[in-house]
């Protein structure tokens, strides 16, 4: 069959058969030239073409369907996460994304957004609590000061030295509190790491023992220092001094006369450990989990006389955390307390 535009022909070639120089016969070889097909060839090709057309049609439809489903699977959880992120941006920190995806990366993104919301929510709660705590802490001394002043202005009280002295004490308490808050804000700011220079913990403890010597002497409380390491630490000298001061002054404040303070400095394979053991009033089990929190005071009546605002341990903890370490406490009411600071040795030179 001749198919239009398909040009082909039968090509014949003759080859003589020669034996002993004599032509014995002739062989004719004929074959179909290019594009010359029989009926069955054409039918076969037409079927093949049709088949290819159908198969490619199905392939396109399938690709479109699968593509759309895949795109939906990816875009749906993504848009849910985006909505959550928008909610968070608007200040709704309680928003959480509950979408689940089979794509690991999208699940990870959802988790990250939820963690971000959680952190922001906690920060917001902390900020609100801090504001109300500060207001609460300032209200008492300010109210006392106000009533004293008013009494003196109205002539109910004579403005003598002792009355003025008690007003002065309240002012000192307020400025101490403000100073402590400033310190806390500085050490809690993660961007502020403080200095890092070679520091000898032994030296810090010995210096502070000297500074506290007369206070402890007045209470007839001996200080014992057992030092088993002279190693240096890459740390902020002022901040570590602050921690030692806080722990020593607490031991002094919360112990009766004649009760010793034992300080131990030693190292393990990976850490430097500093312990302060006192035999004072101790902390009840109920108070123990909270003593590192801002403004937390275990014994209000005693603290009123000692004048603590409940920020010292919060500052100490922030400093030790900033150095990659940990501060823990073990205490028994009426028997005493052990404050233990563990600093990683990676920073030891
Ligand atoms: P404060 O300025 O009140 O001393 P801190 O943050 O240093 O604040 O301590 C928080 C609370 O923990 C204190 O008010 C006190 O009740 C308790 N505390 C801290 N150290 C000791 C200690 N060595 N012995 C007993 N109680 C302590």
Question: Pick from 316, 318, 217: which is nearest to 276 by CA?
Answer: 316
Residue of the nearest CA to atom 7 in ligand 1? 312
**Chain position carrying tokens 């990676």:** 346
Q: Ligand 1 mean position to 314 CA, how many Å? A: 10
Measured from the Cα of 249, ligand 1's closest atom is 4
Q: pLDDT at position 164, please? A: 92
The span from the CA of 191 to the CA of 209, in Å, is 32
Q: What is the number of alpha carbons within 13 Å of residue 162 lying toward its C-beta?
A: 2
Q: Ligand 1 mean position to 161 CA, how many Å? A: 32
Of 179, 249, 250, the one to substitute when testing ligand 1's pocket (max ligand atoms within 8 A of C-beta) is: 250
Diameter over CA atoms, the chain: 159
Q: Ligand 1 mean position to 138 CA, how many Å? A: 19
> What tokens does 297 get?
């005071």
pLDDT tens track, the chain, 349 positions? 555 556 667 778 899 988 888 888 989 988 766 666 778 888 999 999 999 999 999 999 999 999 999 888 888 888 888 999 999 999 888 888 888 887 888 889 999 999 999 989 988 888 888 888 888 888 888 998 999 999 999 999 898 999 999 899 889 989 988 998 888 888 887 666 788 899 999 999 999 999 999 999 999 999 999 999 999 999 999 999 999 999 999 999 999 999 999 999 999 999 999 999 999 999 999 999 999 988 888 875 555 555 577 889 999 999 999 999 999 999 999 999 999 999 998 644 5
Of 282, 298, 315, 328, the one to substitute when testing ligand 1's pocket (max ligand atoms within 8 A of C-beta) is: 298
Q: Ligand 1 mean position to 60 CA, how many Å? A: 74
Beta strands, E only, 100-258: 197-200, 223-227, 232-235
b/e map 237-272, b = 16+ CB within 10 Å: bebbbbbbbbbbbbbbbbbeeebbbbbbbebeeebb
Residue of the nearest CA to atom 2 in ligand 1? 308
Q: What is the number of alpha carbons within 13 Å of residue 204 lying toward its C-beta?
A: 26
What is the crossing angle of helices 201-218 and 237-253, to 10°? 30
Q: pLDDT at position 103, please? A: 82
Question: Pick from 197, 204, 223, 347: which is nearest to 274 by CA?
Answer: 204
Question: Pick from 196, 190, 187, 271: which is nearest to 235 by CA?
Answer: 196
Of 313, 318, 335, 337, the one to substitute when testing ligand 1's pocket (max ligand atoms within 8 A of C-beta) is: 313
> What tokens does 181 get?
């808050």
What is the crossing angle of helices 161-188 and 312-322, to 10°? 20
- C-alpha distances out from residue 22 to 13, 15, 19, 195, 272, Å: 20, 14, 5, 113, 113
> What tokens does 325 get?
């370490």
Q: Which residues line ligand 1 (CB under 6 A)?
A: 246, 250-251, 254, 278, 280-283, 291, 296-299, 303, 308-314, 337
Q: Ligand 1 mean position to 256 CA, how many Å? A: 14
Residue of the nearest CA to atom 21 in ligand 1? 250
């Amino acid at each position: 069959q001749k198919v239009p535009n398909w040009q082909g022909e039968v090509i014949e070639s003759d080859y003589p058969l020669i034996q002993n120089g004599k032509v014995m016969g002739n062989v004719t070889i004929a074959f179909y030239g290019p594009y010359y097909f029989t009926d069955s060839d054409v039918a076969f090709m037409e079927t093949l073409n049709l088949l290819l057309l159908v198969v490619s049609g199905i392939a396109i439809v399938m690709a479109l369907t699968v593509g759309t489903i895949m795109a939906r699977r990816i875009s749906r959880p993504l848009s849910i996460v985006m909505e959550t992120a928008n909610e968070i941006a608007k200040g709704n920190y309680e928003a959480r994304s509950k979408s689940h995806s089979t794509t690991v990366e999208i699940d990870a993104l959802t988790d990250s957004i939820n963690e971000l919301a959680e952190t922001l929510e906690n920060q917001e709660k902390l900020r609100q609590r801090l504001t109300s705590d500060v207001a609460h802490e300032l209200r008492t001394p300010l109210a006392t000061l106000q009533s004293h002043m008013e009494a003196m202005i109205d002539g109910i009280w004579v403005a003598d030295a002792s009355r003025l002295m008690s007003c002065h004490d309240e002012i000192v308490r307020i400025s101490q509190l403000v100073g402590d808050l400033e310190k806390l804000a500085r050490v809690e700011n993660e961007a502020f790491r403080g200095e890092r220079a070679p520091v000898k913990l032994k030296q810090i403890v010995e210096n502070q023992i000297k500074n506290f010597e007369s206070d402890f002497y007045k209470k007839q409380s001996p200080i014992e220092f057992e030092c088993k390491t002279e190693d240096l630490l890459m740390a902020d000298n002022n901040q570590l001094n602050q921690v030692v001061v806080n722990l020593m002054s607490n031991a002094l404040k919360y112990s009766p006369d004649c009760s010793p303070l034992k300080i131990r400095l030693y190292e393990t394979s990976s850490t430097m450990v500093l312990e302060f053991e006192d035999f004072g009033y101790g902390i009840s089990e109920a108070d123990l989990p909270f003593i590192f929190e801002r403004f937390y005071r275990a014994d209000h009546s005693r603290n009123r006389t000692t004048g603590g605002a409940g920020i010292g341990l919060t500052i100490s903890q922030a400093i030790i955390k900033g150095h990659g370490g940990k501060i823990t406490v073990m205490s028994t009411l009426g028997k005493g307390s052990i404050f233990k600071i563990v600093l990683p040795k990676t920073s030891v030179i």
